[in-house]
Amino acid sequence: MNSVSVRALLVRGMVAGLIAGALALAVAYFLGESRVDAAIALEEAHSHDHGGEELVSRTVQSTAGLATGLLVFGVAIGGIAALVFCYALGRIGRFGPRATAALVAGAALLSVYVVPFLKYPANPPAVGDPDTIGRRTGLFFLMVALSVLLAVVAVILARRLAPRLGNWNATVAGAAAYVAVIGTAYAFLPSFNEVGPDFPATLLWEFRLATLAVQATLWVVFGLVFGHLTQRLLVPAADAVGAGGAPGRAAAVAG
């Protein structure tokens, strides 16, 4: 891909990420914030330390802070995913732009969030030991890095096995290798069970489902919007070249 097409895709990825972040923000506000408020109220009811003063008010955290975090995150992951798309298009099978965007988004949701989440799920306020928060955070990001690295290795393995095993069997083999190594990591990395007996199980479950819904919304919307934008950019270029159009547009499709 030439620099012009990469730049065009990068911009579209960031725009799609911004749109996805806005919709994820709505899900986070309407599904997640009420659970956070309930957890904070529960924490305050059991806390004997009421002398501290918040540096940032809860109102700002749940509005401007939440919006800034999700919108910036959406733009950032949109740009990164667009670069991954540039590499993947035409290299992972005979998939068009929309299908490739959907595959990239689905793989990102699985490897960046779902797999680490299953090992180290999100906790609301009042859950967890403050003394272990640094270790828990570090292990979560270690799990993210490991999952993404193994996903890349699984794709490379599947591509190398494809000439001998065929596309389907090679894909199954790559996925099996990924699951096997991730399962080993699950078994050997430390776990944390710091939910107190007084914390409502329903509230914990609803909070975790809300965080999962936010990430699912972010990546699903990104995949759909980015796929639509790339389809409009790249497919007409291919049609124009087939009809004797300008070769400069052909570079947008070649990868």
Q: What is the pLDDT of residue 253?
A: 42
The answer to whether residues 104 and 19 belong to one domain is yes
Residue 142 shares a structural domain with residue 254:
no
* Structural domain count of the chain: 2
Q: pTM score, two decimals? A: 0.81
Structure tokens at 121: 């799920």
Domain boundary (191, 214, 231) is at 191
Please give the Cα distance from 116 to 229 (Å, whole number). 30
Q: For residues 63 and 156, state if they share a domain.
A: no
pLDDT value at residue 242: 47
Same domain flag for 168 and 223:
no
Q: Do 83 and 121 lie in a common domain?
A: yes
Quick one: 14 and 82 in the same domain?
A: yes
Closest by CA to 195, choosing from 137, 109, 132, is 132
Among 145, 164, 191, identify where a domain stops: 191
pLDDT reported for residue 77: 93
- pLDDT for residue 250: 38
Q: Indicate whether 217 and 173 sit together in one domain.
A: no
Q: Which residues span the domain enclosing 15?
A: 1-43+59-127+200-255
Q: Please tell me the distance from the alpha carbon of residue 201 to that of residue 203, in angstroms, as a whole number.
A: 5
3-state SS, residue 207: helix
What is the full per-residue pLDDT of the chain (255 aa) written as tens digits? Answer: 555 588 889 999 999 999 999 999 999 888 877 777 777 777 666 665 544 555 556 566 656 777 888 899 999 999 999 999 988 887 777 788 899 999 999 999 999 999 999 998 888 776 666 777 788 889 999 999 999 999 999 989 988 888 888 888 988 999 999 999 999 999 999 888 777 677 777 888 888 899 999 999 999 999 999 999 998 888 865 454 444 444 443 344 434
pLDDT of residue 44: 65
Same domain, 133 and 122: no
Q: Check whether residue 10 and residue 63 sit in a common domain.
A: yes
Q: Which residue has the tokens 């065929």?
A: 166
**220 and 24 in contact (C-beta within 8 Å)?**
no
